[in-house]
């Protein structure tokens, strides 16, 4: 399928990483699917999506077509994290996406085994599979159970949501903000629950507060304190965002205390 324009941003970042020889660079994409879910409905009441935000109904996509686009991105780019892939309540589509990811992961492992067998037999590991490419999944954050972080940001707002998505197995990573925990203690409890379920945690600024973002750096301390391993504080384009990253750097270079760097083990940092 052809999706004009949707490859521009991930391709640009990939090209920059290649130019800088950053072979370990992996992409995380926040899809914000609820923002382009159509108020109109498709066959049998299914939601439609308008990722191009076009006025042409011919460009609206079903959940299955959106899945095809996501899988195509996973095939083309080194993506290890995808956030808010579908709209709230589109549970059936979320479950089908998880099934398709599991199927593609099985194919990827099977292909890797076939290539390994080819090498053991002394033959060149040439591409013998023609037009049947597989997604090059990798273990994410040193967690052998995770090959793609499926993140619930707007979709997961409470401990009850966490339980539901874990039971459905349609997500495996939570974005933690003070708004979701209500208090620092609430955030600590929610993080402990996520860790106990084997989930990844991304501590984030609360972009929806009415007062806007500030230079308050508390989330940097929170991320380290709960051993989240991941933080999201916006781009390096404002003093408000830089304050968080500068705090992390100051803590990392403080010789009076030793706080290990999560590095590639960010999903298992609490272990």
Sign of the Cα pseudo-torsion (138, 139, 145, 147, in order): negative
pTM of the model: 0.85
Which 3 state secondary structure label does DSSP give 166? helix
The torsion region of residue 256 among left (phi > 0), alpha (psi -120 to 50) and beta comes to alpha
pLDDT of residue 2: 46
Helices (H), ranges, 177-238 = 178-181, 184-196, 218-225
Regions of the chain where pLDDT drops below 50 = 1-3, 126, 210
CA distance 33 to 63: 10
Residue 139: CB partners within 8 Å, gap ≥ 6? 146, 147
CA neighbor of 153 nearest in space, from 101, 229, 206, 222: 206
What six digits make up the tokens of 248? 């992390």
Task: Supply the mean pLDDT for the chain.
Answer: 84
pLDDT of residue 32: 86
């Amino acid at each position: 399928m052809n999706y004009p324009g949707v490859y521009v941003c991930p391709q640009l970042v990939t090209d920059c990483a290649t130019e800088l020889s950053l072979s370990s660079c992996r992409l995380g994409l926040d899809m914000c699917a609820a923002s382009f879910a159509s108020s109109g409905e498709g066959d049998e009441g299914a939601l439609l999506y308008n990722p191009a935000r076009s006025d042409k109904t011919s460009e609206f996509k079903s959940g299955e077509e959106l899945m095809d686009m996501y899988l195509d991105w996973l095939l083309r780019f080194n993506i290890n994290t995808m956030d808010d892939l579908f709209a709230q309540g589109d549970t059936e589509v979320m479950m089908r996406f998880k099934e398709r990811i599991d199927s593609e992961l099985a194919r990827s492992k099977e292909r890797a085994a076939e290539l390994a067998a080819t090498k053991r037999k002394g033959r060149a590991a040439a591409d013998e599979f023609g037009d049947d490419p597989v997604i090059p999944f990798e273990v994410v954050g040193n967690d052998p159970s995770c090959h793609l972080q499926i993140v619930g940001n707007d979709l997961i707002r409470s401990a009850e949501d966490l339980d539901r998505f874990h039971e459905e197995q349609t997500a495996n990573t939570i974005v933690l903000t003070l708004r979701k925990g209500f208090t620092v203690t609430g955030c600590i409890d929610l993080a402990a629950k996520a860790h106990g379920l084997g989930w990844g945690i991304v501590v984030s600024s609360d972009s929806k507060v009415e007062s806007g973002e500030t230079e308050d750096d508390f989330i940097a301390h929170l991320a380290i304190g709960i051993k989240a391993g991941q933080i999201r504080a916006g781009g390096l384009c404002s003093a408000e965002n830089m304050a968080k990253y500068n705090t992390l750097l100051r803590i990392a270079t403080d010789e009076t205390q030793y706080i290990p760097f999560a590095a590639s083990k960010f999903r298992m940092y609490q272990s």
